[in-house]
Amino acid sequence: MKTNMDINEIKTYLPHRYPFLLVDKIVDIEELKITGIKNVTVNEPFFEGHFPEHPVMPGVLIIEALAQTCGVLALKREENRGKLAYFISINNAKFRKPVFPGDTLTLEIAVTRHKPKLVQAHGVAKVGESVVCEADLLFSILDRKR
């Protein structure tokens, strides 16, 4: 099984595009686990307003990066190819440390429950060895509508 993906392959699974695609690469994929990378750069559009004199990555975007990483894992499954992963619930979210321009976020997802139309996972975002955010995520897998 292939264990990494570049941005072009990620885009074949996720519908997100700049400036809302928040996963730069996948460095490890297993059946129920995936690890992604988000390089946080000072030219991210959200830093213009959050906060101009003290840029900090918004926590909701860290959660979104975790969700997109989980989406890649869910949509890579053969039975979910061509479908969408709708983010439907966040539980137990904790923000432990701020994320700054120049940081590299490591996005670790472990699926805790998988059914044909439902994926539940625990996500942990790290900078280096420090946990900056964690949350339990829930997705509904649906057919794409035209």
Domain ranges of the chain: 7-143
Split at pLDDT 50, 70, 90, the class of 42 is: very high
Residues serving a catalytic function are 50
Predicted pLDDT at 1: 62
Domain 7-143 CATH (choose: 3.30.465.10, 3.40.1640.10, 3.10.129.10, 1.10.540.10): 3.10.129.10
SS (H, E, C) 52-80: CCCCCCCHHHHHHHHHHHHHHHHHHCHHH
Split at pLDDT 50, 70, 90, the class of 146 is: low
**Residue 140, class by beta-carbon neighbours within 10 Å (0-12 exposed, 13-18 middle, 19+ buried)?**
middle
**Residue 141, class by beta-carbon neighbours within 10 Å (0-12 exposed, 13-18 middle, 19+ buried)?**
buried
Predicted pLDDT at 73: 97
Split at pLDDT 50, 70, 90, the class of 122 is: very high
Each residue's pLDDT tens digit, 56-108? 999 999 999 999 999 999 999 999 999 999 999 999 999 999 999 999 999 99
